[in-house]
Chain A
Amino acid sequence: MSEERYSISRYLLVRLLLLIPTFLGVSVIAFLIMKLTPGDPLISVIGFGGSQNSVTAAALRAELGLGQPLYIQYLLFVWRILQGNLGNSIAQQVPVLTLIGQALPNTLLLISVAMTFAVAIGIPVGILAGVKRNRATDQAVRVGSILAASLPDYWLGMMLLILFAFYLRLFPVGGNIGPTSVVLPALTLGIGLAGLLIRLTRSSMLDQIHENYIRTARAKGLSEWVVIRRHALRNAILPVITVIGLQVGYLLAGDFFVEYVYAWPGIGRLVVSAILVKDYPVVQGFLLLAATAYVLINLTVDLLYTAIDPRIRFQGRE
């Protein structure tokens, strides 16, 4: 057993080390964005008024390392980031980190509800569809799940808003003003994922049902239900979990359309507004954080997969 622990921690170590070049890449890109954006960089930090003041301007120029070689500026940039300084929002003159910190819980709430909805619908329906192997189900699942993934989410959001919020008056029109506010945005976000999960779970189940070990399980005299639950499901769920994990990262980074349409006060809406008014520090800060979160989430998913599938742990040793 201790051998197992050894290879897990080695695997972890290797993966963590691989993160470093990725973070480097992320930071370089963010830095380049900062350098390439038009406009006086000082304004984003101390505002228009401050930039006119020659004393503070000069001090800031020194701190930002302007006038020094590019790589020094880059290192200073990384240093600032590690200290948590992501600059200030031009539009609101508030540290970017603060804005993001305020908006993040809302986004997390939205994403959790959306994922819960998608998983609660997607996986059971997928299992059922996988057990029923007929043509009609096959076609329905194919068409339906692809359609769900093809809908532009902002458009879907708008249509749902009109239908449920205005005509039927079932839900509030926007913002986060009460417990029912989260329903429509979560539904909008979750539909595409639910479609994907139904499809994936079904095909994963179908794959497993034809495997030899299922035949062995039946040969032991197990009832079909037990065969599916105890044997097929365990193997079928693995790729689904990976996808769910990846989707968390994707949702986190990509829910801005939905937030925008529903005026949901999360980081997505923050970023979209920032883009529209060209508030670059916010955009840049968001990119950094989103990319980092995405990478970390993927790593977590991989580790989770390792914990569930014992075969992976031992591959590192060969």
Chain B
Amino acid sequence: MFSREPKLVEDSESARPLRYEVLAILSRDRIALVALLVVIAATVVALLAPYIAPFDPTQQQLAGSLKGPSSIHLLGQDELGRDLLSRLMYGARVSLLVGASVVGVSLLIGVFLGALAGYYGGKVDSAIMRIVDVFLSFPGIILAVGAVAVVGPGLENVIIALILINWPGYTRVMRGETLRVKENVYVLASRGMGASDSWIMRKHIIPSAISPVVVLATIGFGWAVLAEAGLSFLGLGVQPPAPSWGGMVSEGLEYVLIAPLMALFPGLTIAITVWAFNMLGDGLRDALDPSLRI
């Protein structure tokens, strides 16, 4: 007997491109939109800091040491009289730079190696995944601290260390997705048409497999910011007097009894920024996998 599956609730007329579908769902998620706004705000602040910061972040004004918020210094001053608000703004540059470069490079490496491993399988796969497994068996933060402790502090070292820790995660996810997508009909069709491997990978595999990796990237951004802050807190990141959020928390620790706001603001900033990235990643994941919605 001929039995067709009726489309109960879906609109089968147009197969809209995935991007629009995702954006549509995302735009209905109010909290994710708030998160997106925060991310955009942070990026804008970071990019325009030299132009919009009220003061030079390293300029000391010892007379105003540890003063609280005032009309000139909106968030108060630290022990050397430097303006907290300006330092926070410049700190955003560090945090976002670290996040972007760590995630960006890890993503490139991870997607490339993951697609290779998944697509070709066999020895290539084993070799890559062995290395990935070894890396993944370490807790990330420890490795970060250890690595930087050894090679020395500084922004570049932090970024390199975090990249080294981050890329295996993307590789593994990308490989899994590649394996799943590889057997799709249109891939086989392309191969039947004689398309080259790299063409198939670029045009079919990577676009289809990329979604979970993108989610991972947004969350990874948050993690990178948190990690950089932690390292700076320990003095292993950006060196003073250059401002960084983690470093500001550490400075605030010394004076926390007299001027608690000095530590409160940078920590809050870190929390909100990281939250925004994580929330965005979460919203993206929900948008890409709507089967979770009930």
Binding site for B on A (CB under 8 A): 21-22, 25-26, 33, 36-37, 133, 139, 142-143, 146-147, 149-152, 154-156, 158-159, 161-162, 166, 203, 206, 210, 249-250, 253-254, 256-257, 261, 271-272, 275-276, 280, 283-284, 287, 290-291, 294-295, 298
Contact = CB atoms under 8 A, between A and B. Distances in A.
Contacts of A22: 133-134, 137
B249 A295 contact: no
B273 to A, nearest CB: 8
Contacts of A298: 137
A203 B294 CA distance: 11
Given A250-B139, A253-B141, A253-B142, A152 B294 contact: no
7 contacts: A36-B150, A146-B278, A147-B275, A152-B233, A152-B274, A283-B146, A287-B146
Interface residues of B, number: 44
B249 A287 contact: no
B149 to A, nearest CB: 5
Contact of B234 (A162, A210, A276): A276
Interface of B: 31, 130, 133-134, 137-139, 141-143, 145-146, 149-151, 222, 226, 229-230, 233-236, 246, 249, 252-253, 256-257, 260, 263-264, 266-267, 270-272, 274-275, 278-279, 282, 292, 294
**Which of B137, B145, B272, B274 gathers most chain A CB within 10 Å?**
B137
B139 A253 contact: yes
B150 A159 contact: no
B138 A155 contact: no
Given A36-B150, A142-B282, A146-B282, A162 B142 contact: no
B267 A291 contact: no
A291 B263 contact: no
B282 A25 contact: no
Contacts of A257: 230, 233
Contacts of A33: 146, 150
A154 B294 contact: no
Given A33-B146, A291-B138, A291-B142, A151 B271 contact: yes
Contacts, number: 116
A93 B141 CA distance: 27
A254 B142 contact: yes
Contact of B230 (A154, A159, A206, A291): A154
Contacts of A159: 263-264, 267
Contacts of B145: 256, 271, 275
Given A37-B150, A272-B234, A146 B141 contact: no
Given A162-B256, A162-B257, A276-B234, A155 B263 contact: yes
A158 B253 contact: yes
Most chain A beta-carbon neighbours within 10 Å: one of B31, B233, B252, B270:
B233
Contact of B270 (A139, A155, A162, A203): A155
Task: Give the interface centre of B235, B257, B260 by most chain A CB atoms within 10 Å.
Answer: B260
The 9 closest A-B pairs by CB, nearest first: A155-B267, A150-B274, A25-B134, A253-B139, A150-B275, A253-B142, A254-B141, A275-B149, A146-B278
Contacts of B142: 253-254, 287, 290-291, 294
A21 B234 CA distance: 32
Contact of A294 (B138, B146, B229, B236): B138
